[in-house]
């Protein structure tokens, strides 16, 4: 328990640090960010928009401490201000409509990549020098060297544009009414395949190599030798003894890589015009929608922290050593 | 004389790399009889663990057995295929490893690890396997409730006893103890040895006992082989070895440890720069006492160098 | 196998050593470099990187003038005149790719090196001084590790004045924590070694101990971290620029890809416009990863590929030689 409480405290601290960074960033930059923004912005802004920006950026020059607490209060109640590019929709509303798609894409590809990568790693380490151990690592490292979005562009070009077998954009076909029915679910799945596939392909190598290397280290542990001496069947030693232990570092690193995968998912969304946070992020960047960018940063950070906490919960189930103290 | 349980004949193990092959064990021969405790002693790296692991054929690439025979109850261990080997392991020979502290799977309960080995070899239900595990734990005087514990919740001594209990699970004919007490403090060491002796009286298995600690070795073993550089340099019943050792290396090894009982003795060791190269085959000195001939001076006991 | 003298002390000291730590620590910087030069993977990686660096340096000679100049020869497929074709704006794609290498490699290496240096400083001082300082540094490191990189990059880049310098600074801010964590754990294990204790007792100054005793023994880890940081920086830079958050007026692989999408080359099926820059990023990253792989294999012999395929539970091979 105390392990989980400690982790929870740490996540809260990390979130607080992110909010504070968000608060300080526009205030620490030289010059007046609002004026700079107005000069860079192509479209004309309404006076209310400018006003909303000024409060957010703290250009009004009020005392910083009370302003900071006011800001904290607003964020914690989910008030991220007004979106500029979609004025006057509140930022939280914009994000809420997009977050589910990002979660769907991110989680699907994360789960597939983790399971597949770890399985490949286990098998490669179990048969050192075999086919899987020789071919897969360099190949996957090569694929993993491509930027997410570039592989997405390639996939879209080959399957969407040249072959015409994959949907080109969005998360479901135009004209389809979202609902919980088979037609819609299949359509969503069809739109999910390519973006998820590119994320899986790019991240697979990391998972596989990580698992393979820890498995190789685990294989020289004494309890593996003892299991062999006990005359247990090889697959049982592989799964219950070696993989079960080698999994632990893999789970730990999962927390760290969630943030990374999210980044990849955001960029992939841009390419596929997938209506998640990432696609909206592009819009926010182009429209210089600072409140939206900040809101996205905080939302994604919160999501990553929650995901990390979930990973911790899994870890506690897997490693008896952290359960007490 | 009783039937030999284990016969090791001219066993040679090499660690082969691209450039060269290193001999971990070199033409090592010995026999262990039913119910006997045979000790192998020597400094780190002399090849005693190599012998222990190669008997169960647990050594990994790049190690390979390049010469010799291992017979268990007359059956050729080196000729067994994987399935035979699996069935033979633990059923006939069980092993307690150098770091028995780390030989338990850290993420599964102790009970499961008993069940694992019992059901693999004997089949049966989980419940009967658990029952057997409880008996075994009682045998080593550990509360059967501890079967629900994870390894990290137990002390080093407890873990070691559990491994020993696990080794007895299938009533093997031979138990290999590879430095079973090295990681433990002296008091616990004594308790564990006591326990091993009790279990041996009760169950009657033979023991291959491996250590670098001569005082433990003399206390426990019936016969002792002294290893140096992969070879056995002297082999004798422990009483003879203790009082009438003939090889200077044996004498140095005996001189390097304080006796557990009796008066204070000045410790001696091998002189600086003394090495034995090209150790010859053992010669019979009578009474089961075998010594490798050497041109190094033989010392009298207790002499300082 | 045989020691000069047996003393009880060494006989007793049969504690299991952590092989990887020991090996890593013992591989000194110079030996590592020498071994690397004989390693096939490392040489392949280094050659690829070298080729890219040479091409980047030669870009002004091969493609003089402003490569971004808009001409009328828009969106032509690869031909003898334009080996990789032209963009929608009529710029030579090969020229853009080679010029792009200059800023991409510069930013990638600069950000990678700075991140590693900060990582070394934070990790070493945390591990060396321990206690309060270590707690604080670890906490900050872990927070930065946890905060998702890309969204952080975005808000940082959005608020800072655009330019190459900003890109580097932003990449370092998001990139240093990973290396600091690795450095700290490595330095911690070396900090506990006897020779460090000996140096402490003999009254050496902290800075000297850190630089002379601890750092040289971390050579391989510093190397892998540096390579990892450069790979990460090149990828992150490309992502940032792809979103239009870099300086769109400099030519780099990321901005090339940004223009390729915003000009609609992808949708129009003009593959030659977006393939070269992406491939270049991948090749450089792969080359660096190859070097990394090589360092890992050298410092951790267990990772080397065995000669024959072997199952982990295989029994000891019996290979009797001919009797003499």
| pLDDT, tens digit, 9 for 90 and up, residues C217-265 | 888 889 889 999 999 999 999 988 888 887 777 888 988 888 888 887 7
Does some domain include residue A84? no
Question: What is the reported pLDDT for A43?
Answer: 59
How is residue A179 written in tokens? 């609902």
Q: Is A182 contained in some domain?
A: yes
Q: Which residues contact C278 (CB under 8 A, 6 or more apart)?
A: A146, A147, A150, A151, A153, A154, C253, C257
Q: What is the pLDDT of residues B147-191, one digit of tens each?
A: 999 999 998 889 989 999 999 999 999 999 998 877 778 888 888
A63-80 tens-digit pLDDT: 778 888 888 888 888 888
Answer whether residue A322 is part of any domain.
Answer: no
> CA of A168: which chain C residue's CA is closest?
C267
Taking CA–CA distances from A227, the nearest residue in chain C reads C313
H or E element, residue A1: none
- Of the pLDDT bands very low, low, confident and very high (cuts 50, 70, 90), residue A1 is low
Which pLDDT value is given to residue B277? 72
The confidence score (pLDDT) of residue B257 equals: 66
Q: Is the model's pLDDT at B50 over the cut of 70?
A: yes
Around Cβ B155, how many Cβ atoms within 10 Å? 11
Structural domain count, chain A: 2
Does residue A186 have a pLDDT over 70?
A: yes
Spell out which residues of chain A touch residue C156, defining contact as CB-CB under 8 Å. Answer: 25
**pLDDT higher than threshold 60 for residue C109:** yes
Q: Strand, coil or helix: what is B64? A: strand
pLDDT, residue B45, reads 79
**Residue A127 and residue A64 share a domain:** no
Contact B212 C320 (CB under 8 A): no
pLDDT tens column, A15-33? 999 999 888 887 777 666 6
A50 and A130, same domain (yes or no): no
Whether the per-residue pLDDT at B15 is higher than 70: the answer is yes
Asked whether residue A133 falls in the same domain as residue A186, the answer is yes
Q: What's the Cα-to-Cα distance from B48 to each of B16, B179, B226, B274, C44, rounded to whole Å?
A: 18, 10, 9, 21, 44
Please list every residue in chain A whose beta carbon sits closer than 8 Å to the beta carbon of residue C238.
Answer: 147, 149-150
Of C2, C310, C321, the CB nearest to B61: C310
Report the phi/psi class of residue B278: left, alpha or beta, with left for phi > 0 and alpha for psi in -120 to 50.
left
- How much is the pLDDT for A217? 87
Question: Tell me, what's the ipTM?
Answer: 0.87
Write out pLDDT tens, residues C196-218: 888 888 888 888 888 888 888 88
For residue C16, give Cα distances in angstroms to A45, A207, A251, B100, C12: 69, 29, 27, 12, 12
Q: Specify whether A176 is located in the same domain as A241.
A: yes
In a domain, B87, yes or no: yes
Asked if residue B274 belongs to a domain, the reply is: no
Q: What is the average per-residue pLDDT within B8-16?
A: 90
Between B193 and C16, name the one with better pLDDT.
Answer: B193
pLDDT in tens, C125-139: 998 888 889 999 999
Per the CB < 8 A criterion, the answer to whether C297 and C247 are in contact is no
pLDDT band per the 50, 70, 90 thresholds, residue C311: confident
- CA–CA distance, B287 with C164 (Å, rounded to integer): 87
Kindly report the average pLDDT of chain A as a whole number.
84
Give domain status of residue A33, yes or no: yes
Are A46 and A129 found together in one domain? no
**Does the pLDDT value for residue A270 go beyond 50?**
yes
Say yes or no to pLDDT of C266 above 70: yes
Percent of residues, chain A, with pLDDT higher than 70: 91
Does residue C1 carry a pLDDT above 60? no
CB B105 within 8 A of CB A241: yes
Q: Does B52 touch chain A (CB under 8 A)?
A: no
pLDDT tens digits, residue range A91-147?
A: 888 888 888 888 899 889 989 999 999 999 999 988 888 888 888 888 998 898 888
* pLDDT greater than 90 at residue B64: no
Q: Is residue B11 part of a domain?
A: yes
Closest CA to A148 of A108, A195, A106: A195
Which pLDDT band holds residue B304 (cuts at 50, 70, 90)? very low
Q: Provide, rounded to the nearest whole percent, the portion of chain A with pLDDT above 90.
A: 20
Q: Give the one of A223, A244, A248 whose C-beta lies nearest to B103's C-beta.
A: A223
A166 or C61: which leads in pLDDT? C61
Residue that finishes a domain, picked among A48, A76, A104: A76
Q: Are B275 and C2 in contact (CB < 8 Å)?
A: yes
- Name the DSSP class of A82: B
Please tell me the least confidently modeled range out of A68-72, A303-307, C9-13, C76-80. Answer: C9-13
> Is the same domain home to A236 and A141?
yes
What is the Cα–Cα distance from A197 to A209, expressed in whole angstroms? Answer: 19
| Across C77-81, average pLDDT | 74
**Residue A24 within any structural domain of the chain:** yes
pLDDT band at B213 (very low <50, low <70, confident <90, very high): confident
Mean pLDDT of A243-271: 85
A109 and A55 part of one domain: no
Domain that holds residue B37: 4-260
Check residue B258 and give its pLDDT: 64
pLDDT bracket for residue C6 (50, 70, 90): very low
Q: Is residue A83 part of a domain?
A: no
> Given pLDDT bands bounded at 50, 70 and 90, which one contains residue C17?
very low
Angle between helices C149-159 and A290-318 (to 10 degrees): 160
B114 has a pLDDT exceeding 90: yes
pTM: 0.83
pLDDT value of position C9: 31
Judging contacts by C-beta atoms under 8 Å, the chain C residues touching residue A267 are 150, 239, 242-243
A290: closest CA among A122, A55, A125? A55
A28 and A140 inside one domain: no
Buried b or exposed e, range B27-58, using 16+ CB within 10 angstroms: bbbbbbbebbbbbbbbbbbbbbbbbbbbbbbb
Contacts of B57 in chain C (CB under 8 A): 315-316
Confidence (pLDDT) at B95: 93
Q: What is the pLDDT of residue B5?
A: 92
Q: Is residue B285 situated within a structural domain?
A: no
For helices C40-62 and C29-37, what crossing angle results, to 10°? Answer: 80
Q: Cβ contacts of residue A130 below 8 Å, gap of 6+?
A: A124, C309
CATH number, domain containing residue A103: 1.10.3720.10
Query: Within an 8 Å CB–CB cutoff, is residue A245 touching chain B?
Result: yes
Is the pLDDT at C291 greater than 60? The verdict is yes
The pLDDT score that the predictor gives to residue A77 is 85
pLDDT at B8 over 80: yes
Q: Residue A88 — pLDDT band, cuts 50, 70, 90?
A: confident
Note the pLDDT of residue B263. 66
Q: What is the pLDDT of residue C3?
A: 31
Tell me the angle at which helices A91-126 and A277-286 cross, rounded to the nearest 10 degrees. 130
- Measured distance CA(C259)–CA(C243) in Å, rounded: 10
Q: Could you give the number of structural domains in chain B? A: 1
Based on the domain organization, do A107 and A39 belong to the same domain?
A: no
Q: Say yes or no for a CB contact (<8 Å) between A263 and C142.
A: no
Interchain CB contact of C316 with B (< 8 Å):
yes
**Alpha-carbon separation of residue C215 from C30, C138, C172, C209, C228 (angstroms):** 13, 19, 21, 9, 18
A134 and A241 co-located in one domain: yes
Per-residue pLDDT band at B6 (split at 50, 70, 90): very high
Q: Is the pLDDT of residue A211 over 60?
A: yes
DSSP element (H, E) containing B72: strand B63-72
Above 60 in pLDDT, residue C14?
no
Q: Are residues A205 and A308 in the same domain?
A: yes
Q: What is the reported pLDDT for C11? A: 29
Q: Calculate the average pLDDT of chain C.
A: 81
pLDDT for residue B2 = 60
Q: What is the per-residue pLDDT for B163?
A: 93
Q: Which chain A residues are within 8 Å of B97, Cβ to Cβ? A: 222, 225-226, 229
Mean pLDDT of C33-39: 81
Query: Are the C-beta atoms of B199 and B222 separated by less than 8 Å?
Result: no
Tell me, what's the pLDDT at A40? 62
How many CB atoms neighbour CB B173 within 10 A?
19
Domain containing residue A224: 93-316
C219: exposed, middle or buried (Cβ count in 10 Å: 0-12, 13-18, 19+): buried
What's the pLDDT at C229? 93
* Residue B106's CATH number: 3.40.50.300
Q: Does the structure show a pLDDT above 50 at C25? A: no
Name the closest residue on chain C to residue A214, using Cα atoms: C303
- What pLDDT digit, counting tens, does each position of B249-297 carry? 888 888 776 665 666 666 666 666 677 777 778 888 878 888 888 776 6
Question: Would you state the pLDDT for residue B260?
Answer: 59
* Nearest chain B residue to C16, by CA: B99
Q: Helical H runs in chain C?
A: 8-12, 19-26, 29-37, 40-62, 93-129, 131-146, 149-159, 164-191, 194-201, 206-208, 219-242, 253-262, 271-299
Cβ neighbours of residue C157 closer than 8 Å, sequence gap 6 or more: C166, C167, C170, C240, C245, C246
Q: What is the pLDDT of residue B303?
A: 43
Q: Are residues A30 and A175 in the same domain?
A: no
**Taking a contact as any Cβ pair under 8 Å apart, which residues of chain B between 96 and 125 contact chain A?**
97-100, 102-108, 116-117, 120-121
Residue B266: per-residue pLDDT = 66
Mean pLDDT of B213-239: 89
Say if the Cβ atoms of A147 and C269 lie within 8 Å. no
């Amino acid at each position: 328990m105390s392990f989980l409480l400690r982790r929870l405290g740490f996540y809260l601290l990390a979130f607080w640090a992110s909010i504070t960074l968000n608060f300080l960033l526009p205030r620490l930059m030289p010059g007046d960010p609002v004026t700079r923004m107005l000069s860079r912005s192509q479209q004309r802004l309404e006076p209310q928009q400018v006003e909303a920006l000024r409060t957010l950026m703290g250009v009004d020059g009020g005392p910083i401490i009370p302003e900071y607490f006011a800001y904290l209060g607003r964020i914690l109640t989910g008030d991220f201000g007004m979106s500029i590019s979609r004025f006057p929709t509140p930022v939280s509303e914009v994000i809420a409509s997009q977050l589910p798609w990002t979660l769907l894409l991110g989680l699907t590809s994360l789960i597939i990549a983790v399971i597949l990568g770890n399985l490949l790693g286990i098998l490669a380490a179990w048969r050192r020098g075999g086919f899987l151990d020789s071919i897969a690592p360099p190949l996957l490292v090569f694929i993993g060297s491509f930027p997410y979005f570039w592989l997405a562009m390639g996939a879209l070009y080959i399957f969407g544009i040249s072959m015409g077998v994959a949907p080109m954009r969005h998360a479901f076909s135009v004209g389809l009414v979202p609902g919980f029915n088979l037609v819609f679910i299949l359509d969503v799945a069809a739109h999910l395949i390519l973006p998820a596939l590119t994320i899986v392909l790019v991240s697979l190598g990391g998972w596989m190599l990580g698992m393979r290397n820890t498995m190789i280290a685990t294989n020289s542990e004494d309890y593996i030798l003892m299991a062999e001496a006990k005359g247990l069947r090889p697959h049982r030693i592989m799964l219950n003894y070696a993989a079960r232990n080698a999994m632990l570092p893999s789970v730990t690193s999962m927390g760290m890589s969630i943030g990374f995968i999210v980044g990849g998912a955001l960029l992939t969304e841009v390419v596929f015009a997938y209506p998640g946070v990432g696609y909206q992020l592009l819009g926010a960047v182009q429209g210089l929608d600072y409140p939206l960018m900040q809101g996205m940063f905080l939302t994604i950070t919160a999501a990553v922290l929650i995901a990390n906490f979930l990973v911790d919960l899994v870890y506690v189930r897997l490693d008896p050593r952290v359960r007490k103290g | 004389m009783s039937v030999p349980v284990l016969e090791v004949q001219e066993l040679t193990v090499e660690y082969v790399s691209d450039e060269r092959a290193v001999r971990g064990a070199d033409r090592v021969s010995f026999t262990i009889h039913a119910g006997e405790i045979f000790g192998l002693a020597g400094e780190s790296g002399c090849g005693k663990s190599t012998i222990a692991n190669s008997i169960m054929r647990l050594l990994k690439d790049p190690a390979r057995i390049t010469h010799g025979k291992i017979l268990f109850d007359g059956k050729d261990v080196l000729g067994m295929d994987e399935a035979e080997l699996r069935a033979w392991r633990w059923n006939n020979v069980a092993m307690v490893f150098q770091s028995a502290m780390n030989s338990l799977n850290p993420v599964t309960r102790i009970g499961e690890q008993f069940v694992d080995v019992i059901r693999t070899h004997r089949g049966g239900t989980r419940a009967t396997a658990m029952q057997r595990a409880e008996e075994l734990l009682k045998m080593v005087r550990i509360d059967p409730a501890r079967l629900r514990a994870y390894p990290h919740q137990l002390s080093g001594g407890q873990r070691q006893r559990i491994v020993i209990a696990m080794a007895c699970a299938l009533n093997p004919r031979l138990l290999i103890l590879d430095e079973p007490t090295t990681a433990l403090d002296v008091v616990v060491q004594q308790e564990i040895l006591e326990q091993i002796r009790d279990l041996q009286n009760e169950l009657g298995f033979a023991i291959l006992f491996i250590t670098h600690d001569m005082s433990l070795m003399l206390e426990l073993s019936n016969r002792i082989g002294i290893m140096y550089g992969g070879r056995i340099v002297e082999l004798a019943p422990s009483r003879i070895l203790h009082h009438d050792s003939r090889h200077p290396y044996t004498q140095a090894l005996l001189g390097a440890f304080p006796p557990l009982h009796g008066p204070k003795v000045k410790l001696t060791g091998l002189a600086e720069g003394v090495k034995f190269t090209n150790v010859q085959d053992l010669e019979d000195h009578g009474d089961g006492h075998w010594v490798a001939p050497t041109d190094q001076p033989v010392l009298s006991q207790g002499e300082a160098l | 196998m045989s020691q000069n003298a047996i003393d009880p002390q060494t006989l007793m000291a049969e504690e299991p050593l952590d092989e990887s730590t020991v090996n890593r620590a013992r591989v000194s910087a110079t030996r590592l470099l020498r071994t690397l030069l004989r390693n096939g993977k490392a040489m392949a990686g280094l050659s690829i990187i070298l080729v890219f660096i040479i091409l980047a340096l030669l870009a002004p000679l091969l493609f003089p003038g402003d490569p971004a100049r808009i001409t009328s020869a828009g969106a032509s497929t690869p031909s003898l005149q334009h080996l990789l074709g032209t963009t929608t704006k009529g710029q030579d794609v090969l020229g853009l790719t080679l010029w792009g290498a200059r800023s991409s490699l510069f930013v990638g290496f600069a950000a990678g090196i700075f991140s590693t240096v900060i990582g070394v400083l934070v990790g070493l001082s945390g591990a060396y001084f321990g206690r309060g300082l270590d707690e604080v540094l670890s906490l900050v490191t872990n927070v930065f590790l946890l905060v998702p990189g890309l969204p952080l990059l975005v808000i940082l880049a959005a608020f800072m004045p655009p330019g190459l310098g900003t890109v580097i600074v932003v990449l370092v801010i998001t990139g240093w924590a990973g290396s600091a964590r690795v450095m700290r754990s490595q330095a911690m294990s070396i900090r506990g070694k006897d020779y460090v204790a000996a140096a402490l007792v003999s009254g050496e100054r902290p800075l000297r101990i850190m630089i002379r005793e601890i750092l040289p023994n971390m050579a391989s880890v510093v190397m892998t971290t540096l390579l990892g940081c450069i790979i990460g920086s090149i990828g992150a830079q490309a992502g940032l620029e792809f979103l239009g958050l870099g300086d769109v007026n400099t030519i780099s692989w990321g901005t090339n890809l940004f223009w390729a999408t915003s000009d609609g080359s992808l949708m129009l099926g003009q593959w030659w416009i977006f393939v070269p820059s992406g491939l270049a990023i991948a090749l450089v990253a792969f080359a660096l990863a190859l070097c990394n792989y090589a360092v890992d294999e050298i410092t951790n012999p267990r990772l080397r590929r065995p000669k024959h395929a072997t199952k982990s539970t295989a029994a000891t091979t019996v290979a009797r030689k001919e009797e003499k």
